[in-house]
Amino acid sequence: MSTRRVRSDCFESWLPYIESIATETTSHTKRSTVGRVVAVVVAGIGLYILLPELVRVASAGPRLFTLEPWWLLVAFIAEASSFFCAMALLRLVLRTKSWFAVVTAGLAGNAVTNTLPGGDAVGASVQYRMLASTGIDSVQAAGGLAVSSIIGVAALFSLPIFALPVIIGGEGVSAGLVHAGELGAIGFVLIMALGAVILTTDKTLLTLGRFLQWTLNKMPRRRKSPGDLGQRLLHERDQVRTDLGKNWWKALLLVAGRIGLDYGSLLAVLRATGTRPNPSLVLLAYSATAVLALLPITPGGLGIVEASLSGLLVLAHVPSTNAVVATLAFRIGSYWLPTIAGGVCYILYRRRYGALKQGEPAT
* Count of domains observed in the chain: 1
Ordered per-residue pLDDT tens for the chain, 363 residues: 544 444 444 434 444 444 444 454 444 444 456 656 666 666 667 666 777 777 888 888 899 999 999 999 999 999 999 999 999 999 988 888 889 999 999 999 999 988 887 667 778 888 888 998 888 887 778 777 877 877 777 777 777 777 766 666 655 666 666 666 566 566 556 655 666 666 667 776 677 667 666 665 665 555 555 456 667 667 666 766 676 667 777 888 888 889 889 999 999 999 999 998 888 888 888 988 887 887 778 888 888 899 889 988 998 889 999 999 999 999 999 999 999 999 999 999 999 988 776 544 444
**Is 116 among the domain residues?**
yes
Query: What is the residue type of 128?
Result: Y
**Is 201 among the domain residues?**
yes
Nearest to 113 by CA among 45, 46, 25: 25
Three-class SS of the chain: CCHHHHHHHHHHHHHHHHHHHHHHHHHHHCCCHHHHHHHHHHHHHHHHHHHHHHHHHHCCHHHHHHCCHHHHHHHHHHHHHHHHHHHHHHHHHHCCCCHHHHHHHHHHHHHHHHHCCCHHHHHHHHHHHHHHHCCCCHHHHHHHHHHHHHHHHHHHHHHHHHHHHHHHHCCCCCHHHHHHHHHHHHHHHHHHHHHHHHHHCCHHHHHHHHHHHHHHHHCCCCCCCCCCHHHHHHHHHHHHHHHHHHCHHHHHHHHHHHHHHHHHHHHHHHHHCCCCCCHHHHHHHHHHHHHHCCCCCCHHHCCHHHHHHHHHHHHCCCCHHHHHHHHHHHHHHHHHHHHHHHHHHHHHHHHHHCCCCCCCCCC
Q: pTM for the full model?
A: 0.75
**Is 21 among the domain residues?**
no
**Is 225 among the domain residues?**
yes
**Is 187 among the domain residues?**
yes
**Is 279 among the domain residues?**
yes
**Is 363 among the domain residues?**
no
Cα–Cα distance for residue pair 361/363, rounded to 1 Å: 6
**Is 348 among the domain residues?**
yes
Domain residues for 83? Answer: 56-353
